[in-house]
Chains A and B, each alone.
Chain A
Amino acid sequence: MKEEKLLIDGKRIDGRLPEQLRDIGMKLNAVTTSNGSAEVRFGRTTAIASVHGPRALYPRFLQESDTGILRTRYNMAPFSVNDRKSPGPDRRSTEISKVIRLAFEPAIFLEDFPKVTIDGFVEIVEADGSTRVTGINALSLALAVAGIPMKDLVVACSIGKIDGVLVVDLNGREDNNSEADMAFAMLPNKEVISLLQMDGALTKDEILKLLQLAKESCMKIYEIQKKVLKESYKGE
């Protein structure tokens, strides 16, 4: 796992400090045929999310009579990675589609829409680490723009350990060579966790420290999401 030195004199290979996020860009309404959409970029990882719905759900046996359902699909474009990825779902994107859906379940008032579905799509068009959390940040904005009733937005980031140091927002090389990496999502105003995945080898204390780091980073990302949403309205 540890093939190369990722930290030199306290700086990461892209010049960042351990707790520094990459350059972030957020844009709304990339996909005009959907009910709502957004594009979010963290460094060279770019995700486009769009929401279709609420809309009628067929076949009818899938319907839940007293609540709506949320369906999400995470997919990577073949050109998003250096070694072309075959198009279509694979085991990894199947699992990620599920964890992304569960990251949003606590946030949406699904009970306001019995029998219908809200479909969220995340497409990764450029991948340089931390794709699922970038996708979640984009889908959050898309849901707000689509007018889906929510208890809170969902904000996400990656954290991990490289060369013995706890860091935030791992890029591709860091992700592949980390001692541990974690994907994390929370509801920022309710201060609860809706996604948590980790692999590597960490002590309990390291995990707890990373959770705090994740919380602080997510609050910074949330400020950007808020700003983008409010400014879009004024620009109309």
Chain B
Amino acid sequence: MEETYALELIQKGKRIDGRKFNEFRNIEINANVISTAEGSARVRIGDTEVIAGVKIAVGKPFPDTPNKGILVVNAEFTPLASPEFESGPPSENAVELARIVDRGIRESETIELDKLCLVEGEKVFSTFVDIHIINHQGNLQDAAALAAVVALRNARLPKLENDGIVRGEYDKPLPLKFAPINVTVSKVGENFILDPNYEEEKILDSKLSISVRDDDKICALQKQGRKEIKFEDVEKMIDMAMEKSKELRKLV
């Protein structure tokens, strides 16, 4: 079985495709690929592929933040992307992935939401980030987060006329402060690897998803996987993520 072979190799310090433990597969990023979206990105990490689309609309702000814009992040694990995915409402994994991407963007205060207020208490810009999984070959979390950030960085606010949005005409870019990078570090036995492919994901013990901001602050953490992690693992995993985030941020 490929999975058991992947595990054996990792125990010997190698990986199935010859990569180093901290090496990502080949990354391809294409921005502005969807003409109907205000911002978009298509990201491939190895054979994993996701498309993120940003749609901006005008809506009512939340009562406790009357002068801030709204951010909504959603993810769809479309059935075409993997025999594992079924049609229907989002699975717990899809919900979790979307919420982790959301927190990475929101907690880092990447979008300057207070610059998106049109009429306090009544009208603000709502930014919708929708992540569509096109092919699942491992590490959906990092691919989705990367696609979301690239899409946001290319997003433009639509032009407004008489309180309505003029589709197809744009004003200024979406006001952004940061580029948060999500790196998920996986633990396999006593080894730590980045960007597991599909087979490696089946044999890993646990994961820590780490969102790193430009100033090296950590804005989100999420432990995943069925096994425990040790206290001393956390520092190692954060160090690995922080180092890798610098490299990935250059691509964005």
Contacts and interface: CB of A to CB of B under 8 A. Distances in A.
Query: Is any CB of A less than 8 Å from a CB of B in the complex?
Result: yes
A151 to B, nearest CB: 10
Contact of A198 (B109, B220, B227): B220
A234 interface: no
Contacts of B103: 199
Query: DSSP majority for the B interface?
Result: mixed
Given A91-B99, A94-B92, A207-B238, A102 B226 contact: yes
B227 A208 contact: no
Given A194-B228, A208-B235, A201 B221 contact: no
Given A95-B95, A200-B107, A207 B223 contact: no
Interface in B3-56: none
Contacts of B238: 204, 207
A190 interface: yes
A115 interface: no
B92 A95 contact: yes
A207 B242 CA distance: 13
B95 A208 contact: no
A191 B208 contact: no
A204 B231 contact: no
A106 B226 contact: yes
A191 B230 CA distance: 7
Interface string A183-211: 00001001111111111111110011001
B92 A215 contact: no
B204 to A, nearest CB: 13
A211 B107 CA distance: 20
A19 interface: no
Contacts of B219: 199-201
B191 interface: no
A105 B227 CA distance: 7
A207 B234 contact: yes
A220 interface: no
A102 B107 contact: no
B218 A207 contact: yes
A153 B98 CA distance: 30
A193 B229 contact: yes
A132 to B, nearest CB: 13
B184 to A, nearest CB: 13
Interface string B199-229: 0000000001000010011111111111111
Nearest to B103: A199
B231 A191 contact: yes
A197 B107 CA distance: 13
A196 B222 contact: yes
A182 B234 contact: no
Contacts of B231: 191-193, 211, 215
B227 to A, nearest CB: 6
A217 interface: no
Given A95-B99, A201-B107, A190 B228 contact: yes
Contacts of A201: 107-109, 213, 217-219
Interface centre among B213, B223, B238 (most CB of A within 10 A): B223
Interface string B95-118: 110110001001111000000000
Contacts of A195: 223
A98 interface: yes
A222 B239 CA distance: 31
A97 interface: yes
B157 to A, nearest CB: 24
B221 A196 contact: yes
B223 A193 contact: yes
B206 to A, nearest CB: 9
Given A94-B90, A194-B228, A204-B218, 10 more contacts: A94-B92, A95-B92, A95-B95, A102-B224, A190-B228, A193-B223, A193-B230, A203-B216, A208-B235, A215-B231
